[in-house]
Amino acid sequence: MSAWGARELTVTYGDTVALSSVSVDVREGEVLAVVGGDGAGKTTLLRALAGAVPASAGAVDAPSLSSIGFMPTAAGVWRDLSVDQNIDFVASAQGVTGATLAERREQLLADTGLEGATKRLAGQLSGGMRQKLAFALAMIHRPPMLILDEPSTGVDPVSRVDLWRMISQAAVDGAAIIMATTYLDEAERASRVLVLDGGEVLLAGTPADVMANVPGHVADAVGTPDRARSWRRGSQFKTWSPDEPTDGAARADDLEDAVIAATLAKETSNA
């Protein structure tokens, strides 16, 4: 199984270090979810892998541009072109023509549910439809590597399900997929997770590994919680403790708790 990715990658914008010595593998047939708060470095990592920002140090190991499907944060569709014209343009740039294009267009339109909107301008599509079009554009040449920057942000739950179905199918078909997301329930469905914070790797591994490797443990808050170490999940408060869990209890119940706990642990160690 071949893998692309980055080794000890550092990216700086002027004096700001956006990524600091980040290493990551993106493997064929897997979805790697990159999670982290605002300014964590998710987009910078993806853009560096796509070659859109230069590495200040370290190395990027990525296929040629013709083997990458990229979906930027802002969807990256041409709003003044129709759905069909968007597909025509990107297919032409990717060298997909003739019968191959016809077959892929039909399949992608069916998968995205955009068959009835082929003549509509991309700018007139709903947010979810536009994201699905952007995914279709990234997939038109069936690239071995897919780089998706928050593909489901701002998308309704039904469209998120559709997008995930397509992303999973691409992975099943052998694509190496790296996607940034702010939805940790989504990240939990990924093969592996990379948690970034302030441009550094906080945790990495399968979702189960990440949850198992949280420093300390997360528990339901009892009584008046310590505000600095507590957060609300639905009607319940959770609290993080640096102490090891007792009686073999789980360190975190889910990925969201794990990421918050890891972030608090880092803040505590830096304090």
Partner 1 sequence: MKAMIQKEFRELRRDKRTMAMLIALPILLLVIFGYAANFTIDDISTRVVGPGSEQVTAQLPDLFEVDADAAAADDDADGDTQTALDLVRDNKADVVIDTTTTPPTAYLDGSSLFSAQTAKGALAQMPDGAVTIDVLYNPDLTTAWVMVPALIGLILTFIGTIITSIGLVRERQNGTLEQLAVMPLKPSDVIVGKIAPYFILAALDMIIVTLLGVWIFDVPFNGNVALFGVGGAIFLFVVLGLGVLISTASQTQAQAIQVAMMILLPQILLSGFIFPLSAMPAAISWIGYILPLTYWVNISQGILLRGADLASLWPSFAVLAVMAVVIFTAAVLRFRRDLAPSSRRKSQKSSKAGK
Between 33 and 137, CB nearer to partner 1: 137
User: 3-state DSSP call for residue 139?
Assistant: helix
Binding string, residues 134-173; x marks residues near partner 1 by CB under 8 A? ---x---------x--------------------------
77 in contact with partner 1 (CB under 8 A): yes
DSSP 25-56: EEETT-EEEEE-STTSSHHHHHHHHHTSS--S
Our finding on whether 78 is near partner 1 (CB under 8 A) is yes
Measured from the CB atom, is 6 or 221 closer to partner 1?
Answer: 6
Q: Which is nearer to partner 1, 70 or 240 (CB)?
A: 70
Q: List, as one string, the DSSP characters of 119-136.
A: TSBGGGS-HHHHHHHHHH
Q: How far is the C-alpha of 129 from the C-alpha of 123, rounded, in Å?
A: 10
Q: CB of 183: closest distance to partner 1 in angstroms?
A: 20
Q: Judge whether 178 and 26 are in contact, CB under 8 Å.
A: yes
By beta-carbon proximity to partner 1, the closer residue of 131 and 263 is 131
Token readout for 213 is 């490797």
Using alpha carbons, list the distances in angstroms from residue 113 to 130, 174, 268: 11, 23, 47
DSSP 8-state assignment for residue 250: -
The stretch among 75-83, 96-104, 108-116, 257-265 that binds partner 1 (CB under 8 A) is 75-83
Residue 2 sits in the site that holds partner 1 (CB under 8 A): yes
Q: Return the residue of 20, 44, 82, 94 that touches partner 1, per CB under 8 A.
A: 94
Binding site for partner 1 (CB under 8 A): 2, 4, 47, 50-55, 59-66, 68, 70, 72-79, 90, 93-95, 137, 147
